[in-house]
Amino acid sequence: MKIIALSDCHFKYHPTDKADAENAKLLTNFLGSIVGKYDLMVLVGDIFDLWFDWKYTIVKQYFPLLRRLADIADAGCRIVYISGNHDFWFGDFLSKYLGCEMHPEGFSLETDGVHIRFEHGDIRTVNDLRYQLYRKLIRLNFMRGIFAAIHPDLALQLGTFLSRSSRTRPENPEVRRRKTQGLKNYAKSLINNKKADIVVMGHSHVPELAPINKGYYANCGDWINHHTYLEIIAGTPLMRHLHEDNNN
């Protein structure tokens, strides 16, 4: 099986600067170039910087990316979408109209003799109690109902304000180290307990493919600074970069 996994694209409905617009173009062009090349695509969270589909409304600015996903699905590729910490308020649009399989917490797969676990990773970091409390609060049906009742134009502005993502927002190196270490510790636990051979995650924005005993921890990286993705071909994980001329 040929699998591609990517995460943390943070596709914005309103690019805040030239770099955001360029990243969006790079992503949509890349997705257009891989139509028909994979059997399975796993979107490992935070593909959109903010997502909400109202009863009769979606964000029109997301059309270029949604069109690419539709093309990939129409070419016969199975698409699995795992919620991130920015895209979790999903209705039925992606599943009903694009055929995506939606998984709020994670996705497991056995293929080519390996057991693969995919998770975004935001609940696997360490020493981030404030975020864990925020995560529980923002996912309450009550909060979703409030957001749904607001006019989409205002709701999107509110959602952008609540979003903690920013390409230019500095992150303390120690915080990033703890975040990455929490993901790797979780992967190590799964592999050592023979619950997975390959653990694929996102969230940290740090692309990495690291052997752990007889398995692998893989992080897809991001499409803000690194433009990386993961391939798993016949059970073998490979870290790839947008500008590599090796798409098979």
Fold of 2-241: Purple Acid Phosphatase; chain A, domain 2 (3.60.21)
pLDDT of residue 82: 97
Euclidean distance between CA atoms 161 and 13, whole angstroms? 13
> Beta-carbon neighbour count of residue 230 at 10 Å?
28
Are 205 and 180 spatial neighbours (Cβ–Cβ below 8 Å)?
no
Residues 6 or more apart whose Cβ sits within 8 Å of residue 116: 3, 108, 109, 110, 196, 197, 198, 199, 200, 232
Residue 219 host element (H or E): strand 215-219
Domain positions in the chain are 2-241
Greatest alpha-carbon span in the chain: 51
When the pLDDT of each residue in the chain is averaged and rounded to a whole number, the result is 89
Predicted confidence band of residue 32 (pLDDT cuts 50, 70, 90) = very high
**Phi, psi torsion values for 15, nearest 5 degrees:** -55, 135
Predicted confidence (pLDDT) per residue in 134-188, tens digit: 777 777 777 778 888 888 888 888 777 766 544 445 566 766 677 788 999 999 9
Are 111 and 1 spatial neighbours (Cβ–Cβ below 8 Å)?
yes
40 bridge partner residues? 3, 78
pLDDT of residue 171: 64
Euclidean distance between CA atoms 231 and 38, whole angstroms? 9
